[in-house]
Amino acid sequence: MKLEDIRREYLKDGLSRDLLADDPISQFELWLKQAVDAELADPTAMVVATVDENGQPSQRIVLLKHLDENGFVFFTNTESRKAQELAQNNQICLHFPWHNLERQVIVYGKAVPLSKMAVTKYFLSRPKESQIAAWASAQSRPVSSRNVLMEKFSQVKNKFSQGEVPLPSFWGGYCIEPHKVEFWQGGANRLHDRFMYQKQDDGTWQVERLNP
């Protein structure tokens, strides 16, 4: 297999300044709706990048669970690697790769912990099996085998077989408040269209085209 020969042209669409909304949240909502309407697999999936105390970046894929004028929301175990890294450095980067539409969005911002009320509301909306899995998994920490994990799941399932599953003390969420957002549309001959929104001191957004 010759990796250097794997390539394709990007010919679906173009992107110009006059097609963009005045703010990145409105523009993202439009593109997300188009991704959903196109029936892409996991249109809300995003790569979340954090950095540890040694400057080592790490990434993982999580699902976007809410979006409003404040930013992008996801939920996680607060004892996980990403949460521990965010506790030391709340700067974060999100990446939405919508390959079939030849688009991607990159969000730069800071992670702000959500209130317990917001976290509880979301947790109670999850399927019960997912709630139980949150209790069973010591996220990011070693486990000797899948059998051990499934045994813990069974134990928790039996424990909470009656009534609601309570919110774990180690479960939380973050709102990613953006200060830069890039929208990328593939172009022919690798001349892609890229626009960067940058938040100004007065709360407005400046938009500029970037070289591909």
Instruction: Give pLDDT tens digits for 129-156.
Output: 999 999 999 998 999 999 999 999 999 9
Please identify every residue annotated as catalytic: 190
pLDDT at 177 over 90: yes
pLDDT at 9 over 90: no
In the prediction, which pLDDT does 43 show? 98
Task: Enumerate residues 6+ apart whose C-beta is below 8 A from 29.
Answer: 67
| High-pLDDT (> 90) share of the chain, % | 93
Mean pLDDT of 28-49: 98
In the prediction, which pLDDT does 142 show? 92
- 12 pLDDT tier (thresholds 50, 70, 90): confident
Considering the domain 3-127+168-210, what is its CATH architecture?
Roll (2.30)
For the chain, the domains span 3-127+168-210
In the prediction, which pLDDT does 5 show? 87
